[in-house]
Amino acid sequence: MSDLTPEEAKVTAWLASRKEAMVALLREMVDTDSGSYDKAGVDRAGQVLARFHEANGLVVEIVPDARYGDAVKARLPNPSANDQRPVLLLGHRDTVFPQGEPTRRPFTIKGGRAYGPGVADMKAGLVIEAFVAAAFAECGGLSAPLMMLTTSDEEIASPSSRPIIEAAAREARCVFNAEPSRLPAGTEFSRDQKQSITSGRKGGVFMRAEFTGKAAHSGANYDKGISAIVDLGHKIPRLQGLTDLERGVTVNVGLIGGGQTVNTIAPHAWCEIDLRYVTAAQRDELVGAIKTIVETPVVPGATGALAIKGEFVPLERSSESAVLFEAYRDAAAGFGISVAAEFTGGCADSGFTAAQGCPTLCSVGPIGGLAHTPDEFLEVESIVPAAQVLALAVMRTAARME
């Protein structure tokens, strides 16, 4: 790239020289077990990053949590900056996989793709954020303070991390969240490529419904029982029927269970419900409709109760966030990468930061796919360009916001 400033050239060259180190850190992160409910594992992944940050001159703060993994903050101060609000690099260390998954299928590279639990979602994003922070510590060139925040529970809707994320967003001038970027449908990876990042996301509410009936012997006293399973069974199609694809609303009953024995009228049953929506008004409307269905008995005498387990707010597009996208798109163009912004039904912590009024851009990580599956992959050759583009976008956005 011939149009780089000397500072930009120095930072991007430094990152280009660190590919092997990036892959090594990614291997260590992927092979560190860190399912959302494995506090010890998520904390070990945090310690890997904390050691890296400290070795590269950042100031590390551990925010402890008794139940889930600790949050890790790393700061690169800039006392000379006119605006002391930091640029925030955001990400999560937890994965959806059960304990022992990295032992069963450790980090591997085949055919230019890296595989392993969480390799794309989102340990590669954490790696490039860490190296971007290290590049600024080594080379300078950033006109703002920098903060990197990694959390422990995004895959379960951030029950402990949400207030930490929101507080960091209120402190920051802008946020880059390195969830994986994607290839447009039907395209294959190349260095001169098209890439999709996220400018908007749906909100999500994750609920559990409990149903209570009355046990009875299914042979001798059939008419004395009240089946919670039958009550739930009638309600599943009603819940699913709330889906309205034209409005962007989906309701999915993803888990069910219940009963005592095969020869007992079921005294209890349960289901878990995933709601996705676009606007706050839809959220309130649909939660109300779901609650009504759950609590209104179909089987006389049965009862139902609804509880919200976790929740994401939407990542809404804004004119301020458009500035971040333009900086990112222009930086990518210099590397021959054409970037498009997409709206997705997936949720992320970026919705929390945007809801605090902080300009936010999501999915600026390396290119990956098939997240949450054993076939999850990362395009290895996208790691360095993703780090370089992110670094330039951070530098240019910070300069515009001075």
| Domains of the chain by start residue, with CATH | 6-202+314-400 (3.40.630.10), 203-312 (3.30.70.360)
Token readout for 254 is: 């993803």
Assign 352 to helix, strand or coil: helix
When pLDDT is averaged across residues 100-128 and rounded to a whole number, the result is 98
19-57 pLDDT, tens digit per residue, is: 999 999 999 999 999 999 999 999 999 999 999 999 999
User: Does pLDDT of 230 surpass 60?
Assistant: yes
248-301 pLDDT, tens digit per residue, is: 999 999 999 999 999 999 999 999 999 999 998 999 999 999 999 999 999 999
The pLDDT score that the predictor gives to residue 75 is: 98
User: What does DSSP assign to residue 121?
Assistant: I
| Contact criterion met (CB below 8 Å) for 172 and 317 | no
pLDDT bucket at 320, cuts 50 / 70 / 90: confident
The pLDDT score that the predictor gives to residue 1 is: 58
User: Does pLDDT of 64 surpass 90?
Assistant: yes
The pLDDT score that the predictor gives to residue 186 is: 64
d(CA 34, CA 122): 11
User: Does pLDDT of 192 surpass 70?
Assistant: no
Per-residue CA distances from 285 to 132, 263, 292, 353 (Å): 42, 39, 11, 24
Burial readout 308-317 (b: 16 or more C-beta within 10 A, e: otherwise): eebbbbbbbb
Amino acid at 344: T
Helix, strand counts (H, E) of the chain: 11, 17
pLDDT bucket at 319, cuts 50 / 70 / 90: confident
Q: Which of 61, 87, 6, 94 is nearest to 372 (CA)?
A: 94
H or E, element range at 53: helix 39-55
68-102 pLDDT, tens digit per residue, is: 999 999 999 999 998 999 999 999 999 999 999 99
Give the CA radius of gyration of the chain: 23
80: exposed, middle or buried (C-beta count within 10 Å: 0-12, 13-18, 19+)? exposed
User: Does pLDDT of 401 surpass 90?
Assistant: no
The pLDDT score that the predictor gives to residue 337 is: 93
User: Does pLDDT of 63 surpass 90?
Assistant: yes
Residue 276 CB: number of other CB atoms within 10 A?
A: 23
Assign 176 to helix, strand or coil: strand
Assign 257 to helix, strand or coil: strand
Instruction: Find the largest Cα–Cα distance for the chain.
Output: 86
The pLDDT score that the predictor gives to residue 2 is: 58
The pLDDT score that the predictor gives to residue 316 is: 85
- Among 92-101, 341-350, 391-400, the range scoring the smallest mean pLDDT is 341-350
* ω into 122 cis (within 30 of 0): yes
User: Does pLDDT of 118 surpass 90?
Assistant: yes
Token readout for 143 is: 């006109």
